[in-house]
Structure 1
Amino acid sequence: MDVVGIRNTAGDLPEAWNSRLLGRVGTAGVKVLRMDGRPLVSESHDTAEALLVLDGVLRLVADGVDVDVRAGEMYVVRAGVEHAVRPGSRGTLVIVEQI
């Protein structure tokens, strides 16, 4: 596999919050997306997911608790936990999850 420019890939995406699969590690997918300040509705998943902020900030509410994840930080949402994106989330987000 070639080297992937994650920020460039995110910047080239036509719409915010629509991810692109960068690659797979075992059964997990590594995806990137751009955040644009809009909130997203609450969701939960059968498996955990890792949320890694490359630049900007991800503003979540997870299991009823407000969480800000800043550039260079990662937050793991446990399987089954309700989580939503709050207004003001901006930047580049990498998601690692089972696919």
Structure 2
Amino acid sequence: MGFTVIEDEEERDGKQVIRRRIIRTDDPQFPSGYRYALHYGYTDDRGTILRYDNENETPNRHERHTSADIQEIEFPGMLKLRDRSLDEIKDLP
């Protein structure tokens, strides 16, 4: 199985962190062709503010995590999801 790292970035501001990890893969566990985690949260026990990912045990399941819940989402494509994540982060504390 092959893979290519498309983006692997981390930005920190005090205890807040934004991490973007996007990997293009032909692994059948990720039928979309991507394994990704787009995370905005804290480095301490306050945890996640917002995260999109598909790194779980259910193939082709895409999720939106907040501090309150986890929702399954439709995958709109990697660039659209990345942009959506960055747009949402702009409006969060």
TM-score, L = length of structure 1: 0.31
Greater share of helix:
2
Structure 2 length-normalised TM: 0.33
Q: Please identify which structure carries the higher strand content.
A: 1
